[in-house]
């Protein structure tokens, strides 16, 4: 296997493609959202400005969900095959899932303030995300303090797998819990915010961003294995 020590991430054409696609789509996305939100303000008034957060909030939530599930799936593959590449992928998805999860909690709080008048509610999806983020904090503690890489990789894989298996249980337990703040806007109400096309473009843009970030992270994990000691 050729050493990655002297290689740059952008030396590879696929990496270059993911980088430029992510950057360009993100740039167009920002412009589209700003222009559409100004028309939303004209339509619905200043107090509904926070609703544009949906163009970010849902794609971020989509990314986080994909990351958490793929982290569990790659962990399962690592346990089955013992190939380091699957563990690196799982670790990358775990980190990105945690990052996007924290972003959901932040963007969700702005949206909740505009929708329900409070920054935080025990809404099922938000609470599930919070619990998963907390679990993955434990995952990273195992990576940091659990011992040699060969040992922590196995332990982390089981934690990731367990959290993926527990997602439905966590989600349904929280959904039954609180009576108030149950109403998470349904898919139909995206039309209210205008621009279903913008929403799907945003979803695509964030997906490309996820692919780029994941590639970038895996590249650096392979290049700097010492960082995992």
Partner 1 sequence: MLNTLIFKELKLEFRTKETMLSMFLLGIILSFLFSISIENVKQEFVIVYFWIIIFMISSLGLYRSYQNEKNLDSFNLMLSSPVDPSIIFISKVVSFFIQIFIVQIFLFPIFILFFKLNLTISYEVVFLTLVTNWYISSLGNIIGGITLRSNRNEMIIPILLFPFSAPILLAIIRATEGVIGNYSFYDFSNWIFIIITSSIVVFILGIWAYYDIIKE
Partner 2 sequence: MLKVKNLKKSFNFNSILSDLNFKVNKGEIIHISGSNGVGKTTLLKIIAGILSPEFGEVSIFKKDLLSKDCQEKKHILYWGHQPMIYPHFTVYENINFFLKMRNQTIPNDIDLILEKVNMLNLKHNQCQNFSQGMFQRFNLLRFIIADWSLALMDEPFSGLDIEAEELLLKKIIERKNQGKSMIIVSHNKSILHNLSALKYEIKNKGLVKI
Q: Is 229 in the site for partner 1 (CB under 8 A)?
A: no
Site string for partner 2, 51-90 (x = CB under 8 A): -------------------------------x--------
For partner 1, the closer of residues 61 and 159 by Cβ is 159
Q: Is 163 in the site for partner 1 (CB under 8 A)?
A: yes
Q: Which does 208 bind (CB under 5 to 8 A by kind): partner 2, partner 1, none?
A: none
Q: How far is the CB of 150 from partner 2 (least distance, A)?
A: 6
CB atoms within 10 A of CB 209: 22
Q: How far is the CB of 180 from partner 1 (least distance, A)?
A: 15
- Could you list the residues that contact partner 1 (CB under 8 A)? 79, 131-132, 134-135, 137-138, 141-142, 145-147, 151, 154-155, 158-159, 161-163, 165-166, 169-170, 172-174, 176-177
């Amino acid at each position: 296997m050729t050493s990655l020590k002297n290689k740059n991430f952008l030396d590879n054409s696929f990496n270059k493609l993911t980088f430029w696609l992510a950057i360009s789509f993100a740039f167009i996305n920002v412009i589209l959202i700003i222009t559409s939100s100004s028309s939303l303000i004209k339509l619905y008034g200043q107090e509904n400005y926070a609703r544009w957060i949906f163009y970010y909030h849902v794609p971020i939530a989509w990314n986080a969900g994909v990351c958490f599930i793929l982290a569990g799936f790659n962990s399962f593959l690592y346990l089955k095959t013992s190939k380091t590449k699957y563990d690196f992928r799982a670790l990358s998805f775990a980190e990105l899932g945690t990052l996007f999860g924290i972003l959901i909690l932040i963007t969700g709080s702005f949206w909740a303030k505009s929708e329900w008048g409070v920054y935080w509610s025990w809404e099922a999806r938000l609470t599930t995300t919070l619990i998963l983020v907390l679990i993955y904090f434990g995952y990273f503690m195992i990576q940091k303090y659990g011992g040699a890489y060969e040992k922590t990789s196995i332990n982390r894989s089981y934690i990731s797998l367990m959290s993926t298996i527990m997602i439905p249980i966590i989600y349904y337990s929280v959904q039954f819990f609180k009576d108030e703040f149950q109403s998470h806007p349904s898919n139909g109400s995206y039309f209210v915010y205008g621009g279903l096309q913008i929403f799907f473009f945003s979803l695509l843009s964030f997906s490309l961003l996820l692919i780029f970030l994941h590639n970038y992270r895996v590249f650096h994990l392979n290049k700097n294995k010492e960082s995992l000691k």
